[in-house]
Amino acid sequence: MIPFLRSRSLLALAMSVGLLASACGDDGASADENEPDADQQKDAGTIARDAGRSDAGSTDAGSADAGSSADAGKPKAACQLLPASEVSAILGVPQKATDNLNGMQCVYASLDPEKKDVRALLEVVTNGRAIYAANQTMYRERGQTPIPQSGIGDQAYFISESIINSSMSSTVGDVLLRLNLGWGDTAVPSETQLSGERTLMLSAISRL
């Protein structure tokens, strides 16, 4: 299990404190490196159902004015927001993008057999402002400090969880985007992690 997939449990944990309608247990990485396991599908599937209910009343408005606002209907699928070519350029390893969980998640997997654990994950969910705030609280309770980022969406923060793993979260309206980059066993300076995630997050937001 590589660290960046383990940290994906933050969204599921946000559900568990009552921010979404229902909760599931913490998820983890699959034994198959390119596929989430059953628990991961269960957690994120619950997010998808809740997100779908919260968007149900705005489907027609979103169709009439597609893309005009992140609040107007369901956001685009995660893989539509961030091409694999851009992730590949940042990680320095060619990546394949795979849509997961009805578009809420895009898994980027290495095409280099020698660097299978250099990969990325982009998640896009509604009810974003509440989850964003809850995740910051959880980081602080673990003794970590989210670093606010200006000029990205409505609000954003970056956190470097280790020398090989980091993530950035941002909200646009009530849509949350969370990008997680993992460099495998390669130590990457936090400045490099930050610059790469800023570039990719801005690119994804531009396509919302």
Residue entry with tokens 């004015």: 65
Share above pLDDT 70 across residues of the chain, in percent, rounded to a whole number: 65
| 73 — pLDDT class (breaks 50, 70, 90) | low
User: What pLDDT does 201 receive?
Assistant: 97
Average pLDDT over residues 86-108: 93
Nearest in space to 163 (alpha carbons), one of 138, 130, 191, 126: 191
> Is residue 23 over pLDDT 50?
no
Length reported for the chain: 208
Q: Determine phi and psi for 10, rounding to 5 degrees.
A: -55, -40
3-state secondary structure of 93: coil
The distance of Cα 114 from the centroid of its chain, to the nearest Å, equals 25
Kindly state the DSSP code that residue 199 receives in the 8-state scheme. Answer: H
User: What pLDDT does 9 receive?
Assistant: 43
d(CA 110, CA 41): 21
Q: Side by side, which strands form the sheet with 147-148?
A: 95-100, 105-110, 118-125, 175-183, 165-172, 155-162, 147-148
> Is residue 25 over pLDDT 70?
no
H or E element, residue 13: helix 9-14
Nearest in space to 15 (alpha carbons), one of 37, 38, 48: 48
Nearest in space to 115 (alpha carbons), one of 185, 62, 162: 185
Q: Count of CB atoms within 10 A of residue 93's CB?
A: 23
| 140 — pLDDT class (breaks 50, 70, 90) | very high
Average pLDDT over residues 27-37: 41
